[in-house]
Structure 1
């Protein structure tokens, strides 16, 4: 999470995660942290460029970038193409409709969900057109592109993942995206996604999920840290997408207790509890799971002490 560590630490964690044996690494793309106690929000694309240079094997991904308000989709097309070259083909562009927390900063307002999804469809169309390599002119309801071309393109098209929260959006986004991104283990969404054919990018479709964890040798310390830095997660995305500031998230979660957080996030040294938390995603048909280890300073201990044994347990459980 770019909200819980500075840029140099994030690069260091990424290197160590590859060394320990993780298969891929995802990065949030935020202008704000969720809560002030998290304390960070470096520019994700600079971090990812450094990580691409400093690693050799792991897949990389934005999880996720909003290509509609803070960024124009033509700029996302250029950035993602450049990053794919730096990563030697290891990068996946994860896209979503965004959160007010990050997008309000450019002062253009925060549209309703229907408009945000329509904007995202247009944005993906523009990105795909530019990744084709030709000169692009585009006039849409939300975006305009005049005589644009991406001059540095990777040999293979950048795969695109899109965040979907319900079955309604699958019909719109599936024809444009290679991979599904979701934060709930909903088998129905995965099944419906897989009924559609992939775009002709050559990428095998993946379903990529995410869960927060808070490993620590001291369970009480883990619960306290999860409550301090991750209680925002309890609001659900219907709430989280619309609040504009860290103060808003602090107010909205003032009555969330440490026990509430511990009930929904595996906290402490029990690795089997993390495996149990991942199981519903595997059973729902997800191919990948991103583990969000809560707390910047705890990453070194997690990577040194817990990550290796946890990976072994997860892979054994997955067969």
Structure 2
């Protein structure tokens, strides 16, 4: 059965509100929750960027059953991978086994803040591979020494370690990172419903095949509004027009001002073409459908607008989840792979 999640988007709400939203997501029936891990919002109008790991610790105590996931953490620039492993182990203990560590190669917007520059994409992939090796070794227990091209670890050990470890999700945008890193992860993470990503993952030596416990986790923004399509579109344009840039642009721009400039010619109608806007729940279902058709097992929804979360959860979440579960197949990953 396809699982549907709720996104705790740190760029559009403060820490206390995010905890409240997580409690609401659990009570209204979402299957899991994911949280962004950013130092900056995409646009100044979003207005927030609390420290995700502090918030996740609070969410772990405020909820009881809701599975949690970072979507995603970059373990190579702001954080050393050894520190990420320690944080993940601690959160897994606090959540009593409900946490998945989502990892990716990051964005310049968030990672340049430590003054280490922004490497070429091939270097970022090499750094991610080393980080995954370090994190895996530390979460397996024991004393770890590591001497890589990008990272060194000297006699490190995680002293508070969960018995069942921490599953790792890997954010992928194309075949290069899949080929290099999929065998070091447990689950696929992607923001676009591309069946070729699932096929490439399943075909990689050493990677866990999607299904039977291995997940392909997607994410989609929506702008539900009870009043009108126009209000929903205006809000989506104000806070999510950066989404139209695509990953190749979004990963490299360094500041909110850069995103303002890159998106200044994006029109409200352009946003509405890629994001379902308005009160029509069936339109949201149709927008989510490509993910399960592509073989994704999980889809996290991003409701746009920090001040709309309570209304969305109270008024729309349960009927929307019912519609999604009625439409989604029992085994979305049981799909014929794309022929080469």
What interval of TM-score do these two structures reach, taking the shorter chain for normalisation? over 0.9
User: Aligned partners of 1:168, 1:253: CA distance in 2, in Å?
Assistant: 28
Give a deviation string over 1:235-292, Cα, whole Å, max 9, x none.
Answer: 0010000000000000000000111101110001000011001111100000000100
Greater RCO structure (CA 8 Å; 6+ sep): 2
**What is the CA-CA distance between 1:296 and the residue it aligns to?**
0.2
Give the Cα separation in 2 of the matches to 1:63 and 1:80.
Answer: 13
The equivalent position to 1:76 in structure 2, one of 80, 84, 109, is 84
Work out whether residues 29 and 65 of structure 1, in 8 Å CA contact, stay in contact via their aligned partners in 2: yes
Corresponding position: 1:151 with 2:159? yes
Indicate yes or no: 2:66 matched with 1:58: yes
Give TM-score, length-normalised by structure 1: 0.98
Give the CA deviation at 1:155. 1.1
Instruction: Give aligned pairs, total.
Output: 318
CA shift, 1:168, in A, is 2.3
Does residue 1:16 correspond to 2:24, yes or no?
yes
Q: Verify: 1:273 aligned to 2:273, yes or no.
A: no
Q: Deviations over 1:36-62 (max 9, x none)?
A: 000000000001111111111111000
User: For the aligned residues, what is the CA RMSD?
Assistant: 1.4
Q: For 1:170-226, what per-residue CA distance to the aligned partner results, in whole angstroms no more than 9, with x for missing partners? A: 121111000000111111110221234446xxx821000010000001221111100
Does the CA-based 8 Å contact 2:217-2:299 persist in structure 1? yes
Report what 1:124 is aligned to: 132
2 CA distance for matches of 1:16 and 1:206? 24
Displacement, 1:85?
0.5
Matched, 1:213 2:222: yes
Q: Which residue of 2 aligns with 1:134?
A: 142
Give structure 1 regions of 4+ aligned residues with deviation exceeding 6 angstroms: none
| Inter-partner Cα distance in structure 1 for 2:268 and 2:224 | 15
1:94-143 C-alpha deviation (Å, 9 max, x unpaired): 00000000001000100000000000000000000101111111100000
Partners in 2 of 1:140 and 1:168 — Cα distance? 20
Contact map agreement 2:201 2:207 (CA 8 A) in 1 = no
Runs of 5+ in structure 1 lacking a partner?
A: none
Structure 2 residues not aligned, in runs of 5+: 1-8, 330-340
The corresponding residue for 1:162 is 170
What is the distance in 2 between the residues matched to 1:3 and 1:276? 26
1-structure distance, mates of 2:28, 2:190: 26
2:111 partner SS: helix
Structure 1 residue corresponding to 2:294, chosen from 257, 269, 284: 284
> Could you say what secondary structure the match of 1:162 adopts?
strand
